[in-house]
Amino acid sequence: MAKKGDKRKVIGLVSEESGHRHYYTRKNTQNTPDKLSLRKYDPVLRKHVLYVETKKNLGRNEVKPKKR
């Protein structure tokens, strides 16, 4: 269960070359407000490429407002 004042958000990392999302991580949005970019291994291309941050938007992680 997440804490109420939790500043960490789950983000997805997308490959710039292949466009696939293979990695997920958490980052503190207060300390690092800009987009995260990491050099990681892409199993589709079988080499190291640059991965950039995107929102983890898979539907089940978003809190939807209750209908009344």
More confident residue, 31 or 60: 31
Domain 8-55 fold: Rubrerythrin, domain 2 (2.20.28)
Expressed in angstroms, the distance from the first to the final Cα of the chain is 25
Q: In the chain, what are the domain boundaries?
A: 8-55
pLDDT tens, position by position, 9-58: 888 899 888 888 889 989 988 898 899 999 999 999 999 999 999 877 65
What confidence score (pLDDT) does residue 50 get?
94
Say if residue 66's pLDDT is above 70: no
> Angle CA(58)–CA(64)–CA(52) in degrees, nearest 5?
35
The pLDDT-based confidence of 61 (bands split at 50, 70, 90) is: very low
